[in-house]
Amino acid sequence: MAAEKRTIGIAMDYLPSSKAAARWAVDNRVKTGDRIILVHVLPKGSDASHKELWKSTGSPLIPLPEFMKMNVQARYGLAPDKEILDVLQAASKAKQVEVLAKIYWGDAREKLCEAVDDLKVDSFVLGCRGLGPLKRALLGSVSNYVVNNAACPVTVVRGPTA
């Protein structure tokens, strides 16, 4: 009996902590035949030509080969890291996984939890910047919020230390 195809969400902002989370997910969580969805959340004030159309539901799912094209990235106001996209493309080929991207606009904490529900992910992986207690109290911890409010198992990967 074949294993059921799983959907794994990865929060992505291209900071070192989210890139570490993506690498960890590819190495430790993703299995042959799974589906990876990179979830991007841009601030409400971000200008995107399609934002009005998709402000409540997020962008459509974008296959990795299309997402890697510069005009698609520019259309959504993203500046992805080529290295991490190459890691995902290699995983796509080696493990026969489908890699998609989706963009939301708004508060990262709320939108990541919405993504978990909307995309029906089986597990979610995100990075942790390792803010100190004072900064975490002032800014709020996205990872803590997602761990406590997402409707699926969440793995938090600590980013590289400076």
DSSP string, 87-110: HHHHHHHHTT-EEEEEEEES-HHH
Q: What is the pTM of this model?
A: 0.87
Within a 13 Å sphere around the CA of 115, how many CA atoms are in the beta-carbon half?
35
Question: For the domain that residue 77 is a member of, what is the CATH number?
Answer: 3.40.50.620
Residue 96 — very low, low, confident or very high, per pLDDT cuts 50/70/90? very high
Instruction: Answer yes or no: is pLDDT of 98 > 70.
Output: yes
Q: What is the domain extent for residue 131?
A: 7-158
pLDDT band at 159; cut points 50, 70, 90: confident
52 is a domain residue:
yes
* Cβ contact 159:15 at 8 Å: yes
Domain-embedded: residue 94: yes
Q: Is 8 helix (H, G, I), strand (E, B) or coil?
A: strand
Residue 132: what pLDDT? Answer: 56
Cβ contact 101:64 at 8 Å? yes
Q: Is residue 1 part of a domain?
A: no
Residue 30 lies in a domain: yes
**Total of domains in the chain:** 1
In a domain, 66, yes or no: yes
> Is position 104 within any domain?
yes
More confident residue, 8 or 59: 8
User: For 72-93, how does the pLDDT look when each residue is reduced to its tens digit (9 = 90+)?
Assistant: 877 888 888 889 999 999 999 9
Residue 82 covered by a domain: yes
**Is 2 contained in some domain?**
no
Does residue 86 come out as left (phi exceeding 0), alpha (psi in the -120 to 50 range) or beta? alpha
Residue-wise pLDDT tens digits, 119-137: 999 999 999 866 555 554 5
pLDDT digits (tens, 9 = 90+) for 9-68: 999 999 899 999 999 999 999 999 999 999 999 887 655 555 555 666 788 899 999 998
The pLDDT of residue 9 is 97
